[in-house]
Structure 1
């Protein structure tokens, strides 16, 4: 499904349009994504910040990631739904939470990351790139 893509929060106070294709989609099994999603993993979609156009008021929360970089989560102050993260390690990019898209039927992760924290009962699909830690792997 080609861009543009549309999405928003659970209560509808925030809406967005993504005007370009994502650069990558990953399923992250780190403990922070498990905590944030309330599930076995979180999904993340790297996009250019300039391609994401939001309407509605947001709030943010910044934490220090395992890498030592700041990671700022942007969410709806009404329903608490996380919309995207601003990673401290890369300029001009955001990590959109693809579960907030109106149509998620086309989503397919390019890689599964932080598998060293994965829940043992979650099977990996055939053909995915498994990564034990952060993507891309660091030396």
Structure 2
């Protein structure tokens, strides 16, 4: 997958998903963080396998994962096909910008904290 050359700056927004059915228990994590991009600015190459998951509100998302490593490479939500979400950990960049928007906070573990200036889904 090739990303825009200035990937963090071109992200639509990094999203923190806390305790959704997408992260606990299927992924075994207490939260996930994704960066969203305009899909037309991301080039994808290589083999991937798709898995469709239905979220809490019934939104269908197609997750594409690497068949060799089993890791999610990206996902696309039905109704929002113009954007692509990529797990922040896939960038292996500790300087990647902090999340700007948080969802599912009502389910987060008591020890998880969000950045002070993050926008919260209401």
Relative to the length of structure 2, the TM-score reads 0.84
Closer/same/farther in 2, CA of residues 52 and 36 from structure 1, 3 Å limit: farther
Q: Does structure 1 residue 90 correspond to structure 2 residue 80? A: yes
Match of residue 2 from structure 2:
17
Partner residue of 2:101 out of 94, 98, 111: 111
Structure 2: gaps spanning 5 or more residues? none
Provide the rounded CA distance (Å) in 1 between the counterparts of 2:112 and 2:68: 31
**Cα RMSD (Å) of the superposition?**
1.7
Q: Does structure 1 residue 60 correspond to structure 2 residue 50? A: yes
Closer/same/farther in 2, CA of residues 45 and 87 from structure 1, 3 Å limit: same
Deviation for aligned residue 1:60: 0.6
Structure 1: gaps spanning 5 or more residues? 1-15, 132-136
Aligned pairs (5 A) from 1:24-43: 24-29=13-18, 30-43=20-33
Relative to the length of structure 1, the TM-score reads 0.75
Partner residue of 1:81 out of 61, 65, 71: 71
Segment of structure 1 superposing worse, 74-83 or 86-95: 86-95
Deviation for aligned residue 1:122: 0.8
Count of residues paired in the alignment: 117
Moved over 3 A (4+): 34-37
Q: Secondary structure at the match of 2:30?
A: coil
Match of residue 134 from structure 1:
none
